[in-house]
A = this chain, B = another copy of it.
Amino acid sequence: MDRVKTYIEGFDEALGGGIPKGHVILITGTPGTMKTTLTFSILYNNVKHGAKGLYISLEENYEDVKGAMADLGMQNLDDMELYLLDVSKIRLEHKEEETSKNWLEVLTRYIEQRVKVNKFDLVAVDSLAALYSLYRMENPRRELFHFFGFLRSLDATTFLISEVPSGENGRLSRYDEEFLADGVLVMRHFEMGETDVQLRVRCVKMRRAKHEQGYFALMQNNGSFTITRPISE
């Protein structure tokens, strides 16, 4: 089975070679756990190796994401096959209409068309919480079943960013997306002793992959991520 590399040093081995192509992956964590950066870096590095990527930002605007990524060494986006859709801009400009739209449908149609036309290999949606704030689902699990089914039917690997508020320790998603997803990567701040905090990543679930179960310390340097086995206190 083909694999999409994460280009996180050490992590592709821990995943048993990378993420199985075509999977729908949930990237989940509390605020400040670098969900956007990590996801973006996966798309960025794959595009640098010849893939095509689509990053859909529902809340942060184009300039902010681009600038943030450039800071971290992910530059020259305009020259790359990495397309950044800024839904936040559309929302801010069309504030009045936004409540009447079925945004899940809009997003589905948009992704469908763009993947068909542009042959994107990787798609990211940042974030599910932003999507839910735009559109209130009648029966979340059923509608999400169809959304996940649609994403899986694409010829692309998808990343969905899930925001978990601080203080709800252990929850990974709001509507059990963790069961619908093919893979779940959780980012977590570990308090070390009373003062230090370390960022860690764990692959909770990855269908069709022999992955490691434990936590890895996650470091970022110039836009490239590395994992190491954390040393316990």
Contacts and interface: CB of A to CB of B under 8 A. Distances in A.
A179 B68 contact: no
A59 to B, nearest CB: 6
B230 A214 contact: no
A181 B216 CA distance: 27
Interface stretch (A47-55, A76-84, A91-99): A91-99
Given A167-B172, A232-B194, A99 B142 contact: yes
A195 B68 contact: no
Given A1-B71, A32-B184, A165 B178 contact: yes
Contacts of A61: 149, 152
B172 A169 contact: no
Contact of A170 (B133, B167, B196): B167
* Main secondary structure on A side of the interface with B: mixed
Interface string A170-194: 1111001011111010000110111
For this chain, the copies found in one complex come to 6
A45 B215 CA distance: 33
A163 interface: yes
A205 interface: yes
Interface residues of A, number: 73
Nearest to A143: B133
A232 B170 contact: no
Given A146-B92, A230-B194, A172 B166 contact: yes
A71 B208 contact: yes
B88 A149 contact: yes
A32 to B, nearest CB: 3
Given A205-B31, A205-B32, A208-B67, A232 B195 contact: yes
Per CB-CB distance, the 4 closest pairs between chain A and chain B, nearest first, are A32-B205, A167-B170, A133-B141, A167-B171
27 contacts: A31-B172, A32-B184, A59-B145, A61-B152, A64-B207, A67-B208, A68-B207, A71-B208, A92-B146, A127-B179, A129-B179, A132-B141, A133-B141, A133-B145, A165-B173, A165-B176, A165-B178, A166-B178, A167-B169, A168-B170, A169-B170, A194-B215, A194-B233, A195-B214, A195-B216, A195-B229, A195-B230
